[in-house]
Amino acid sequence: MNPDLAHLHPYPFEKLAQLKADVRPAADLAHIPLTIGEPRHPAPESVLAVLRDALPQVSHYPGTKGLLALREAIAHWCQRRFGASLEAETQVLPVNGTREALFAFVQTVLDRSRPATVLMPNPFYQIYEGATLLAGGQPHYLPCLEADGFIPDFEAITPEVWENTQLLFICSPGNPTGAVMPLAVQQRLIALADQYDFVIAADECYSEIYHDETMPPPGLLQACVALGRHDFKRCVVFHSLSKRSNLPGLRSGFVAGDAAILSDFLRYRTYHGCAMPLHHQQTSIAAWQDETHVRENREAYRAKFDAVLEILQPVMDVQRPDAGFYLWPAVPGGDDEAFAMALLREQNLGVLPGRYLSRAPQGVNPGAGRVRMALVAELSECIEGAKRIRCCVEKGDF
């Protein structure tokens, strides 16, 4: 067996299952899960209609590179959203969801014949770490602290660490913090990538869920354009239809940026065997071309944040995030595991302890003392969940 498998940590939901094993939930209450970031809004009917019409294409093998029409639809969306003029032939690659793509990308770009440090935010999406370990790399965790607006302090990284860095993961808006990285910070990272010769992988899967229609979160492509870098050298972005369009089961996203990097990534994927089914590609074209359902989606999330925060802020240290659909509150008493168990036991409600999403390389876990709450259910269920959480806090059941 691959010895690197032994280095993998249990996935957060494995830890959660162990935590819940001896907890008997309140039997008189229906379960409310706020644990998994799976959008539960209805998928847009106009997009589903395209999927139904395209089903006969299951009888054909898809190409790894994807349909030109899909790559063009993605390129046009990037132009509208980020002002980035991408060449559909060389700078865009459809992928089967960004989870698969993020993992495979690390296997492509890391050179394990020399020191291969991979920088990642902490807390973080667990695929960054697992992919790094299985590619023979060394994770280096960058704490995302409230004092810094939940953005890593990149100026605190030593030159010695930068020298060995081959890949930097950034996640904006952040998971689980919802923090949006300012354009100036992203431009500073591009300069550091030039100086130390590493690749920036920007996970932007929550970029289309934000509160102010006049201020969408900036992205790495946008930072490149502002610097006049239309080749997007050393920069690659990851986007998905899962959160934007409520299509997590479609497994559709894209990678875009540096053509030279994408050329090697395409070669890897050709052997990886992960071409997107043709009926999913046709459906994706329709989704990327429509913004009406995306705006409606944002409105639904705004209503949930407004309602839930009104209920919780009087009793908890919880703030509206910059973007995304998570709340990242500090828990009363400071013990995130005890708080999660109390919510399950007394209110039959699930949240994810923050320490499960983080590491403690210097003995301090930046996720400890917080929980992640995913406001993905319908408004009424989110309101009911918030009332149960407030009830638990006011009783001090933990």
Q: What is the pLDDT of residues 255-304, one digit of tens each?
A: 999 999 999 999 999 998 889 999 999 999 999 999 999 999 999 999 99
120 contact partners, CB below 8 Å, separation of at least 6: 128, 129, 132, 139, 140, 141, 142, 168, 169
**pLDDT at residue 236 greater than cutoff 90:** yes
CATH number of 45-290: 3.40.640.10
At the fourth CATH level, which superfamily is domain 3-42+293-395?
Aspartate Aminotransferase, domain 1 (3.90.1150.10)
Average confidence (pLDDT) over 219-236: 98
Give domain limits for the chain: 3-42+293-395, 45-290
Q: How far apart are CA 25 and CA 29, in angstroms?
A: 8
Q: What is the pLDDT of residues 24-81, one digit of tens each?
A: 998 899 999 999 999 999 999 999 999 999 999 999 999 999 999 999 999 999 999 9
Q: How far apart are CA 130 and CA 34, in angstroms?
A: 24
Question: Do 45-290 and 3-42+293-395 fall under one CATH topology?
Answer: no
Instruction: Check residue 273 and give its pLDDT.
Output: 84
**CB neighbours (10 Å) of residue 5?**
10
